[in-house]
């Protein structure tokens, strides 16, 4: 039997954890994909292609422990949903501003090549 996922209560979410989780480009890409692709979303569909499953699991764990996502097992899949509303209530505007800046930067890099 697999262990249940642990999700911090919103009162226990620290700004430092949120910023740390979003500082990694892979986790930031996962967040953007979840935001733009609709929630809930299967783990493998939100993670960058060719990322090993163990690496995917690590990144989802960091996002989950930071309070940014909620993960749920559905059969053999793990489905993730964003906790943006909860996070935004605690830290108004922080996550949306970071996601907007990341999306703009990624478009800029794509246009530059």
pTM value is: 0.84
How is the chain split into domains, by residue range?
23-80+90-107
**How does pLDDT run across 16-49, given as a tens digit for each residue?**
999 999 999 999 988 988 887 765 555 556 676 7
Distance between CA atoms of residues 109 and 64, nearest Å: 28
pLDDT at residue 79, as a whole number: 85
pLDDT at residue 109, as a whole number: 61
Distance between CA atoms of residues 102 and 96, nearest Å: 10
Q: Single out the residue of 44, 35, 48, 47 nearest to residue 95, CA to CA.
A: 35
**How does pLDDT run across 58-112, given as a tens digit for each residue?**
999 999 999 999 998 888 788 888 998 899 999 999 999 999 999 888 776 655 5
CATH number of the structural domain 23-80+90-107: 1.10.10.10
């Amino acid at each position: 039997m697999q262990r249940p996922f642990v999700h911090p209560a919103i009162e226990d979410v620290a700004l430092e954890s949120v910023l740390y989780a979003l500082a990694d480009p892979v986790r930031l890409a996962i967040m953007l994909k979840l935001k733009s692709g609709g929630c809930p979303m299967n783990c493998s569909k939100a993670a960058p292609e060719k990322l090993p499953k163990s690496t995917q699991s690590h990144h989802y764990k960091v996002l989950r422990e930071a309070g940014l996502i909620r993960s749920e097992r559905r059969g053999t899949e793990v489905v993730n949903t964003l906790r943006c509303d909860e996070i935004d209530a605690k830290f108004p505007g922080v996550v949306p501003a970071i996601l907007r800046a990341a999306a703009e930067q990624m478009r800029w890099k794509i246009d530059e090549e």
